[in-house]
A and B are shown apart, each in its own frame.
Chain A
Amino acid sequence: MLLLEQFLNGLQFGLLLFLLAAGLTLVFGIMDLVNLAHGSLYMLGAYFAATFAAWTGSFLFGAALALVATLIVGMILEIIVFQRLYGRDHLDQVLGTFGLILFFNELVRLIWGPGGLTLSLPSWLSGAVQILPGVYYPAYRLAIIAVALAVALMLYVIVMRTRVGMLIRAGASNREMIGALGININLLFTLVFGLGAALAGLAGLMQAPILTVQIGMGENILILAFVVIVIGGIGSIRGAFAAAVLIGLVDTLGRIFLPDLLRLVLSGTAASSAARALSSMLIYLTMAIVLVVRPEGLFPTTSQR
């Protein structure tokens, strides 16, 4: 039953990646903005959650406050900085948001200190649940899967079934046109950015109890989120979902089963060191293969150019 357990781990990781990638891909699809600082929002979400949970003494309360706080930080950032970056060269955006990462990492170090924080789970989430007879799985990871799936569904409903979603889709296919039709794009952009920030914050705060909350935690996962949206096709939420789950599974299952597979061919030590190198390359290899077959990703958005 190791397989089922690892499958769930991979799914959970993939869904977390989706939360991060969804915000990135929305912001890119609609505002044509590359935001490296998205990982900083993920980090802030985790730090906020750890701090607020310590203040209020309640995990859920802390999480809710953290979500609101990242939403607000995201909207303020959008108004102060990002509005000036729309329509600029992608290179400018990359460098500007790179500067923001440096700023946020240092700010966090200044406020919370260089040591990491921990966020402990309430007792009702820290146990294990029997998912099949004799198979136990951590309740918290199941909760992450449930929350992330609910958010994905909510996102789908918002984007496909509401008026705001209609504007978002319209904005993704032709920005100038919806502006000309009298839609307040500035407000729409701020809202979308805030939504993306909140999703990143949610991913960060949910990851917080599993890993330690530390500076730079957003960067590695941000690059994975990039891989996800490149595979999925930039601007496509559907693609981001499929690619995120794919990457989550490939990464987790690769790390677990690759050493055993290689041991069939190679000797013990050689197999384990080769497996370590190979399993960390696996997601990038997946990306390379997808790109060879479909350079625009799995679900390309044709509208962009």
Chain B
Amino acid sequence: MKPTDPRTILIALLCAALILLPLYTGFTGNVFMLTLFTRIIIFALAATSLNLILGYGGMMSFGHAAYLGIGGYAVGILAHEGITSGLVQFPVAVLASALFALVVGSLSLRTRGVYFIMITLAFGQMIYYVAAGLDRYGSDDGLTIYRRSQFGGLIDLSNRTQFYYVCLAVLFACLYLVWRIVNSRFGLVIQGIRSNERRMQAIGFPVYRYRLACFVIAGAMCGLAGALLANHTEFISPSIMYWTRSGDLMVMVILGGIGSLFGPLIGTIAFLALEEVLSGITEYWQIIIGPLLLLVVLFGRGGIDGWLGRLRRG
């Protein structure tokens, strides 16, 4: 990454714009924009966590929305039971997601390829049905969260601007974490396994354990996104982890650029902005986005970030 590279400049501009956004919305009073971008940032966090296993690890998980749901339900259920402290809710959300990822991962990582896609999909759907069966917590209709997570007066999540900055800070922290992971010895092993599993095994790496660890980290990170999302919508229902949501997350990663650090962020902005624009044009916006997706898959190698990278080479 040379500083004059158009891609670097664009990403730096993007980050600056995200940091400065509340100034703009505060000035114009455009609350909608701030809410939209809070949502975008939370989904970007989920997509980033998926990118860690999908892009760097080559694990095609189609059940990633499950962690979003588990993180969200952890906040929702604790709030419903009267525990509103974020210092309890957030760790529980992360731990519960990590635990579920450990169970799903230890079973599904025994398999490869299409089996893996289908099994993660099936486990994701399983947790969806479990949530839909929680009579005490609203089952299908979902659960309203009356009070956002409390941080003892330190930060006030009910304040839109503060909440936005919390989400942004978490996203940047996780991007940094992913960057550190990917460039560490652990990350290199994970990427080595993606390129040639058999060789890594022959060299003597415990492939299964490395993959599982990576899978659990991604699950925990997505659980964090889920906890933020529950605070954002102040509502949680099983639909948050319906399988199409896992599909959406995959689309965000692919659209932005798989296996690129900022790809998921770019992809999420593109996808959610496109959704916003198209649904403003027609009620039947999915009739446009479906074939568009197909075209991106067929002709758009490397997503938006890949295209930016090609700009430099001319």
Residues of chain A contacted by B281 (CB below 8 angstroms)? none
Given contacts A81-B294, A280-B129, A287-B122, contact A98 B251 (CB under 8 A): yes
Contact with B130, one of A90, A94, A281, A291 (Cβ below 8 angstroms): A281
Contact with B298, one of A84, A104, A276, A297 (Cβ below 8 angstroms): A84
Q: Choose, from A115-123, A136-144, A173-181, A227-235, the stretch at the interface.
A: A227-235
Given contacts A219-B243, A226-B121, A291-B111, contact A110 B291 (CB under 8 A): no
A295 CA / B293 CA spacing, docked (Å): 32
Query: Does A71 interact with chain B (Cβ within 8 Å)?
Result: no
Residues of chain A contacted by B60 (CB below 8 angstroms)? 90-91, 94
- Size category of the A interface is 35 or more
Query: Does A211 interact with chain B (Cβ within 8 Å)?
Result: no
A98 touches B293 (CB 8 A): yes
A291 touches B129 (CB 8 A): no
Residues of chain A contacted by B293 (CB below 8 angstroms)? 95-96, 98-99, 102
Least CB distance, B257 to chain A, in whole angstroms:
13
A109 touches B284 (CB 8 A): yes
Give the residue name and chain of the A residue nearest to B58 (CB): A91
Give the residue name and chain of the B residue nearest to A279 (CB): B133
A10 CA / B147 CA spacing, docked (Å): 45
A91 CA / B117 CA spacing, docked (Å): 9
A to B contact number (C-beta, < 8 Å)? 127
B290 touches A100 (CB 8 A): yes
Give the residue name and chain of the B residue nearest to A292 (CB): B107
A295 touches B110 (CB 8 A): yes
B130 touches A277 (CB 8 A): yes
Residues of chain A contacted by B114 (CB below 8 angstroms)? 28, 34, 90, 234
B113 touches A90 (CB 8 A): yes
Residues of chain B contacted by A90 (CB below 8 angstroms)? 60, 113-114, 117
Given contacts A94-B62, A234-B115, A295-B110, contact A280 B289 (CB under 8 A): no
- Chain A residues near B (Cβ < 8 Å): 28, 34, 81, 84-85, 88, 90-92, 94-96, 98-107, 109-110, 219-220, 223, 226-227, 229-230, 234, 273, 276-277, 280-281, 284, 287-288, 291-292, 295-297
Closest 10 CB pairs of A and B: A103-B290, A99-B293, A102-B290, A280-B129, A284-B126, A106-B287, A106-B286, A226-B118, A96-B297, A99-B294
